[in-house]
Amino acid sequence: MVEVLIAIGLVVTLFVGFNIGGSTTGPAFGPAVGAGVLSKLAAGVLMAIFFAIGAWTIGRRVVETLGGELVYSSSVFTLETSIVVLFFIGGALFVGNYAGVPASTSMTAVGAIAGLGAAAGELNWVVMGEIAVWWIVSPLVGFWVSVMIGRYLYPTINRWVAITSSDGKLVAVDRSGTVPTPVLGPNTSRREFVGAAVLVSIGCLMAFSSGTSNIANAIAPLYGAGALGMNPLILLGGAAVTVGALTIARRTLATMGSDITELPLTAAIVVAVVASAIVIGLSAIGIPASFVIIATMSIVGLGWGRATRTTTVTEGIRGKEDTNVSVGALAAEEPGEEVPDIGEEDPEDIPGAADLFDPSTTGRVVLMQNFVPMLSTIGAYATFWVLFTFVW
């Protein structure tokens, strides 16, 4: 019987890892894919590599401590309860991935464990409250920082960075010599290449950060139950994440990279820097960071901030002009162009200004990113309450 439970637990762990790969690849590499720097296949490969590095190094510490503070006693993790917790984590994440919306693995996993802890009377409400407060504050910080950058600083940053997305391949291969060597593409400037390298590097950093925290979401319950050792579980979870990053992540990459807003290279770098800075800051103080939500709100905030440059605050208040958010607003100024003051820009001069920001896509993203963790939390609590009350 124990062997059967372990086998079921491993299958559910693989399912959770698969969905973690699908939900975290979009926020990490969606900006790079949306800017045309990486293909979806390359994004999946990089996600798998750097997630594995993060999981194998720092991730094992998170696995050791995940059940230590959120619940008073780790004895609540048995093979049976671990399987149920993993089922709700994987199932809820699958709902988000199927809808093409990257849900927060940290919120979903913590929600399932909190459901178990609450039903068993072992949940540490002080720790849970502290985590919840930061989950509310951090996306708002990402959104408003990005709004301010988009409205007031983006033109200046664009001139400093001076990156444009050229036609053709970013890197080509020179086969004229004895040994083929990589060279810049025919239309690629050195500055564009450096900017693209920075953008990809930030994505790799986010993938590494995801590995340090999210591997615990897949294997910590099973490890706490004593089913297998740390190293085999990390390898198993990393393999499942790789499959998810190369398959179902294509949906979330499309959502994060193009459906919400078309990201030029400069804007993609801004979003990645803002989101990764907040995630690293939260990780430094021991808060499981939801970089999925932070990155999404940063993308929305930057797009809205850029679009509202075409109207002044006074005009918006007086109702003289409708303030519509354009998906092309991020691509306004070309490097070196004269930047008009706020309120003096003509919406017709902004590339893509005729395409308004899609409220249905944004609404779907926000709805699903709140629904998935709630599904995990409520479902786990209800299930464990029934089990503890009538079965166990």
pLDDT at 333 over 50: no
Dihedral Cα 38, 41, 45, 46, nearest 10 deg: 20
Which residue's entry shows tokens 């802890």? 117
Minimum mean pLDDT range among 87-101, 129-143, 157-171, 333-347 = 333-347
pLDDT at 142 over 90: yes
Minimum mean pLDDT range among 77-81, 228-232, 272-276, 368-372 = 368-372
Q: Which residue has the higher pLDDT, 364 or 209?
A: 209
Q: Which residue has the higher pLDDT, 202 or 266?
A: 202
Calculate mean pLDDT across residues 232-247.
93
pLDDT at 332 over 60: no
Note the pLDDT of residue 199.
Answer: 77
Distance of CA 285 to CAs 126, 208, 282, Å?
16, 17, 5
Compute the distance between CA of residue 15 and CA of residue 10 in angstroms, rounded to an integer.
9
Distance of CA 350 to CAs 83, 110, 309, 329, Å?
52, 43, 10, 6
Note the pLDDT of residue 170.
Answer: 65
pLDDT at 66 over 70: no
Whether 11 and 237 have beta carbons less than 8 Å apart is answered as no
What value does the mean pLDDT of the chain take?
76
The number of angstroms, rounded, from the C-alpha of 169 to the middle of its chain's C-alpha atoms is: 26
Calculate mean pLDDT across residues 179-200.
73
Q: Which residue has the higher pLDDT, 314 or 32?
A: 32
pLDDT at 201 over 50: yes
Residue 89: domain span: 2-391
If one counts the domains in the chain, the total is 1
Note the pLDDT of residue 174.
Answer: 66
pLDDT at 194 over 90: no
Calculate mean pLDDT across residues 260-282.
72
Q: Which of 223, 262, 176 is nearest to 78 (CA)?
A: 223
Q: What DSSP letter does each residue of 169-183 carry, written as one string?
A: -SEEEE-SSSS-EEE
pLDDT class of 259 with cuts at 50, 70, 90: low
* Total residue length of the chain: 392
